[in-house]
Structure 1
Amino acid sequence: MNNFLFAAAENDAIANCKAGGMGDVVRDVPRKISEKGDKVHVVVPSYGRLHKNGILKTNLNFQLRNTTYIAELYEVVPKKEFKNIHHYVIHHPEIEAGDIAHIYHNDPKEPFFTDAIKYFIFCTAVAEAIKKEAFGKLDVVHLHDWHSSLLLYLRQYHGLYTSLKKTRFVYSIHNLAIQGIRPFENNYSSLRNWFPDIPIDYKGLMDYRYQDCINLMAVGIRLADAVHTVSPSYKEDVLLPSRPPEFIGGEGLEEDLKKADNEGRLFGILNGCNYKNIRAAGSGFIYRNTVKALFRWLQEESKKYKADFLAHTGEKVMEYVGNRPKFIVSSVARLTEQKFYFFKRSPEAFVEILKKLEKVDGIFMLLGTGAPDYEELFRDFSYNYKNFIFTNGQSEDLIDSIYLESDLYFMPSLFEPCGISQMLSMRNGNPCLVHHTGGLKDTVEHMKTGFSFDGETYDDKIRNMLKSFDIALDVFQNDKTTWKKIKSNAKKMKFTWEKSVDLYYDKLYLLKY
């Protein structure tokens, strides 16, 4: 039996520990490993809350800032029990919940200041737990994004943790755009402050653009035994330099990624999607679930400043209860530059889409929260356009209804390492309209399983986005046979975790199964 440890910032196998797609991966991959008869331990920070009903397994003592830190390792109960999987959280008072999903901090003046501190503590505690064999003797440690990459720094440079070199370390990149860059010194949240006794290898750790800083994403790429991007096409993208907004590639780390590729350490393996035990919504409840979500948010203290807008949204939705639109386009996403840059920069293109929908008695439903400027943009659209319903919050019931009852799922991501929304939509037999980039290239084929757009220049992309939207509308209205075929092809596509995890064993873990 092989013994694995997964270390990450999110784990959707336990309640209230997810902000994005990484949480899904950290939930699903261990389940597939356990089905092979192997054992998995999954550890995340407690964020001051997740340890509360856990069982204390051990205290972890280690040195940071010339001070003895004592963190606690708790085993916690998952949402669903699986054989051979154990879930843990690390608790320490300085590992606090942030304002994004009660996980990440948003430090506008000094990005990553608070998060770096909590993940420094988390990673050192995990290193100590591995050294103490709190998870038994490990064969593979699988790290996810920059939040856990400091384990590779400790393994390489910290005298007390050289024993970690006996174990294979794999590093998955979920979002290359967020790199965890902090100063080497002269800052409370700096490498020197937290690890004063370790000589700094400036060349080996530095960010190319900010050479007085450590780049924790780069640390993962440079020091892991295997590096993994979450789709094959995204792997090809990141080997090339970014040319925003036309192309988002290696984000300044393409040379490191090329080196990893040349050394045979870089692999692009598509994420999977869950096709079993799906949390299914009932058909016909999309407006009821919208209204229920709105009432719930109206009662939340944190949403009080949005009360007028939530009431305005409720009023709009009620109009569609007895007068159902003929075509529903939808998007479910965090409101960020990655997901909606095209609409922010070219609002006139979004208005054109709404006008095209108006002609066919169609609506656009968008659900999400995120960057304040993006939230404001979509609230303004909602006030001005009757057929745009913006539900500015999070609701699993409503998300399920949107995936179930939409006619077309819209995903105009500027870049997309893999994407899960298009898979969830296709699982229900709903075609997607996507930007032809990263993982969206690997999952949606134009006029076969959905619709896509691309272009050499930014203006080409916007023009082609509108053209593809026209094609989708035209097929829906005037060519029912082709529409049914595209729906059926979308539903037949199976992006299974079985397939992906077999490749993990072969390429990343170097284990037989």
Structure 2
Amino acid sequence: MKTTSILFATSEMAPWVKTGGLGDVAAALPAALHRAGNDIRVLLPHYPALRQAFPQATAVAELPALAPALPAARLLAAEADGLPLLLLDCPPLYDRPGNPYVGADGLDWPDNAIRFGLLSRVAALLGQAASPLGWQPDVVHVNDWQTALAAAWLHYEGGAASVVTVHNIAFQGCFEEPLRAALGLPEAAWRFDGVEYHGLLSFLKAGLQLATRISTVSPSYAREIQDEAFGYGLAPLLRHRREALHGILNGIDPVLWNPTTDPALAAPYAANRLAAKRANKLALQQEMGLDPATDRPLFGVVSRLTEQKGHDMLLALGDALPELPAQLVILGSGDKALEAGFLALAEKLPGQVAVKLGFDETLAHRIEAGADCFLMPSRFEPCGLNQMYSLRYGTPPLVQATGGLADTVVDVNEATLADKTANGFVMADGSTDALWQAMQRATIAWLDKRLWLRIQQNGMRCDFSWHHAANDYSRLYRDALAAHR
């Protein structure tokens, strides 16, 4: 089968720059496509973390100013485990500490339109005959609003086929109209069927309107964003382009997330050796200052603490945890009121609730292994990865049926137990009462050790490795190329 040459443009890439699922996807999907024999290169800004990680990166192209607002830059080449990287080097725009999108004050960098306008413009340039590399991909694959504008240049100026992936449609990259000319977009682009969106320049809307093909990170999310409740104003456009829209479920790294070999764990275990999982629960209880209880389940959370993730509902139920009875361990940060609320709950229920604010990758692995049940009551979840990690680790997830959660978690009931697909607990709706009822169901199931073992093993048999998504994207690229021609 003929392979495809691909430019994968992204604003973040784990482990160096990561704020959410995009960073994980940018690390895993290109690597899987590369292993499958595709000629793929990843374009991303030359952030400080990448300067440190790749000090020997070599300059491969000098880029002049490409528009009135876009400064000159250069491209550096590096490799990450054999995967070619192209680092967009422009220190005034990218040599900044911390988060790639916001400053220390928590506010968006005021020049984000320029920073990611340049990234998008260079992604498009590399997909055109004028590419300074002497290499032109068949497909330019862009991700979220930060690179979606590349599809506009490719549409108006010609070049490679384009695919835009929506990781979270809530973030759309909207800016004032004068930026259209400042970024070098043609006047003809300022139309309802171009880059204009309610009087603003929207990077994401431009990509959704003008890309050859559109993908999202799960089949259910592809359906949901065509409805007004989830489309954040873009549902009519997505319904118009539904033939171009595809939902492809993200994957996980089965080597990195493997309870048999995970160095972070107190004891390795597998689906046929789940008794050893108990040692991880005890170790986690000791580490987090919880009572070493064996007579109640331990619920785990690793997440941004936001209402989108449903954590306001969980906090509202906190005082009732002793009634189940159950313990709760939380790792995350986010909304300050939720942070303060969970810290107060931990102080009120010592030994039963433990909270660590921030992020700790190693502790995240230990929570996946040590918890009995993983909580993800998200109001919307484009894909979600933690439920897949949890299934891999024999920690049945409790979720709301939305996005990728609906595509991966099968509720425990008589029929799904009979066909051996039951692997978690799905809330009846998005209410606090439904969350409480699902937690009660999970607690009752946990008390039946034979039943719980069946649920665990069903989940551990699931295969969410990236090669499935890589195969689906390979088909999507071929479809985009056929449509483009």
Do the two structures share a fold, i.e. TM-score over 0.5? yes
Distance 1:238 1:197 in 2: 29
For residue 86 of structure 1, what is the amino acid of its counterpart?
A: P
The offset of 1:273, in angstroms, is 1.8
Inter-partner Cα distance in structure 2 for 1:200 and 1:220:
12
Question: 1:323: Cα distance to partner?
Answer: 6.3
Whole-Å separation in 2 of the counterparts to 1:143 and 1:290: 42
Report the CA distance shift for 1:256/1:5 in structure 2 as closer, same or farther (over 3 A).
same
> Equivalent residue for 2:306?
336
- Could you say which residue in structure 2 is the equivalent of 1:144? 143
Give CA-to-partner distance per residue, 1:249-273, whole Å, 9 cap, x none: 1111001111111xx2111111122
Give ranges in structure 2 of 5+ residues lacking alignment. 267-278, 413-421
**What's 1:500 paired with?**
469
**Does residue 35 in structure 1 map to residue 35 in structure 2?**
yes
Which among 448, 451, 455 is matched to residue 486 of structure 1? Answer: 455
Task: For 1:356 and 1:154, locate their aligned partners in 2 and report how far apart those are by CA, in whole Å.
Answer: 59
Matches within 5 A, 1:72-471: 72-78=74-80, 81-82=81-82, 85-96=83-94, 102-105=99-102, 113-130=110-127, 131-134=130-133, 136-157=135-156, 162=157, 165-185=158-178, 190-195=179-184, 198=187, 200-205=189-194, 211-242=198-229, 249-261=230-242, 264-278=243-257, 280=262, 281-283=264-266, 284=279, 317-318=288-289, 320=291, 326-340=296-310, 342-343=312-313, 347-352=315-320, 354-357=321-324, 359=325, 362-386=326-350, 387-447=352-412, 448-455=422-429, 461-471=431-441
Q: Helix, strand or coil for the counterpart of 2:237?
A: helix
* Structure 2 residue matching 1:16: 3-state secondary structure: coil
1-structure distance, mates of 2:473, 2:454: 33
- Deviation at 1:371? 3.2
Please report how far the alpha carbon of residue 327 of structure 1 lies from its aligned counterpart in structure 2 after TM superposition.
2.3
Q: Report the secondary structure of 1:467's partner residue.
A: helix
State the match for 2:13 in structure 1: 11
Distance 1:265 1:205, change over 3 A: same
Deviation (angstroms), 1:196: 7.8
Contact map agreement 1:270 1:439 (CA 8 A) in 2: yes
Looking at structure 2, the residues matched to 135 and 468 of structure 1 have their Cα atoms a distance apart, in angstroms, of 57
**Cα offset, 1:491, TM superposition:** 0.7
- The question of whether the paired residues in 2 share the 8 Å contact of 1:153 and 1:219 is answered with yes
Q: Aligned in 2, Cα 1:323/1:490: closer, same or farther, shift over 3 Å?
A: closer
Corresponding letter in the other structure for 2:136: K
Write the distance in 2 (CA, Å) between the matches of 1:125 and 1:22: 20
State the match for 1:21 in structure 2: 21
1:89 & 1:380 partners in 2: Cα distance? Answer: 44
- 2:152·2:211 contact (CA, 8 Å) conserved in 1? no
Tell me how far apart the structure 2 counterparts of residues 66 and 17 of structure 1 sit (CA, whole Å): 25
The whole-number CA distance in structure 2 between the counterparts of 1:289 and 1:58 is: 50
8 Å Cα contact 1:233/1:268 also seen in 2: yes
Q: 1:204 to 1:60 in 2, by over 3 A?
A: same
Q: For structure 1, which runs of at least 5 residues remain unmatched after alignment?
A: 243-248, 292-313
Q: What displacement does 1:339 show?
A: 1.3
Give the structure-2-normalised TM-score: 0.84
1:65 to 60, 63, 68: 68
**2:305 aligned counterpart, secondary structure:** coil
For the structure 1 residues 215 and 454, does the alpha-carbon distance in structure 2 shift closer, same or farther, using more than 3 Å as the test? farther
Give the drift of 1:286: 7.0
**SS where residue 87 of structure 1 aligns?**
strand
Give CA deviations for 1:359-409 in whole Å, capped at 9, x if unaligned: 3xx321111122333323322333333222111011111111111111000
**AA of the residue aligned to 1:191:** R
Q: Distance in 1 between matches of 2:48 and 2:168?
A: 25
Q: Which residue of 1 aligns with 2:415?
A: none
- How far did residue 109 of structure 1 move? 9.9
Deviations 1:319-352 (A, max 9, x none): 54x6677421101112233213543xx7433432
Deviates more, 1:131-140 or 1:327-336: 131-140
Instruction: Give, in whole Å, the separation in 2 of the partners of 1:47 and 1:403.
Output: 30
Q: Give the drift of 1:445.
A: 0.7
Question: Number of matched residues?
Answer: 448
Taking a change above 3 Å as real, the CA distance of residues 271 and 203 of structure 1, as seen in their structure-2 partners, is: same
Superposed displacement of residue 129, structure 1: 4.0
Q: 1:66 to 1:31 in 2, by over 3 A?
A: closer
- CA deviations over 1:173-212 (Å, ceiling 9, x no partner): 1011111111113xxxx3344438755514234665xx22
Distance in 1 (alpha carbons) for counterparts of 2:69 and 2:217: 38
C-alpha displacement at 1:289, in angstroms?
A: 7.7
How many angstroms apart in 2 are the aligned matches of 1:409 and 1:109?
29
* Percent identical: 25
Instruction: Tell me the secondary structure at the aligned position of residue 95 of structure 1.
Output: helix
Moved more, 228-237 or 101-110: 101-110
Q: Secondary structure at the match of 1:204?
A: coil
* Secondary structure of 1:63's aligned partner: coil
Give secondary structure in 1 for the equivalent of 2:59: strand
Alignment partners' CA distance in 1, 2:363 and 2:306: 20
In structure 2, what residue type is equivalent to 1:32? A
Secondary structure at the counterpart of residue 411 of structure 2: coil
Q: Displacement, 1:97? A: 5.9
- Counterpart residue type for residue 349 of structure 1: L
Cα 1:426–1:136 change in 2 (3 A) is: same
Write the distance in 2 (CA, Å) between the matches of 1:47 and 1:286: 38
How far residue 47 of structure 1 moved from its aligned partner, in angstroms, is 2.6
Give the aligned CA root-mean-square deviation in angstroms. Answer: 2.8
Gap change, CA 1:492 and 1:94, over 3 Å in 2: same
Tell me the distance in 1 between the aligned counterparts of 2:102 and 2:93: 11
Q: How far is 1:497 from its partner?
A: 1.9
Shift in alpha-carbon separation, 1:193–1:286, aligned structure 2, 3 A: farther
